[in-house]
Amino acid sequence: MTTESDSTGSTDVLDRELQELLENEVTDDGDHDKFSHYVQKEKILESAVTGKPVRALCGKKWTPNSNPDRYPICPTCHEIYERLRDE
């Protein structure tokens, strides 16, 4: 019994949570380039235009690459995303 809701339209809560997350400055030059992070789609589009890194869900600055399938999903981003989606 799952409800399919892939369309945009019920992301108010998610967006608000994201704002709070994105306001937390995290400086980490670790291995974030080895993962595909969750980033707001609009931010990815913005990055594609500006070439600047964006803030991922986990708080890391990351430049989306053109073939994210090469990298595993960032576990931290995935955990945050799942948590946000459940609420």
Question: Residue 83, CB half-sphere, CA atoms under 13 Å: how many?
Answer: 11
User: Of the ranges 2-10, 13-21, 45-53, 74-82, which one interacts with Zn ion (CB under 5 A)?
Assistant: 74-82
CB of 49 to Zn ion, least distance (A): 22
Please give the torsion angle defined by the CA atoms of residues 73, 5, 20 and 69, in that order, rounded to the nearest 10 degrees.
Answer: 20
Pick out residues in 28-67 that bind Zn ion (CB under 5 A): 37, 56, 58
Task: Show the tokens assigned to 54.
Answer: 């964006």
Q: Is 77 in the site for Zn ion (CB under 5 A)?
A: yes
If binding means CB under 5 A, how many residues of this protein chain bind Zn ion? 6
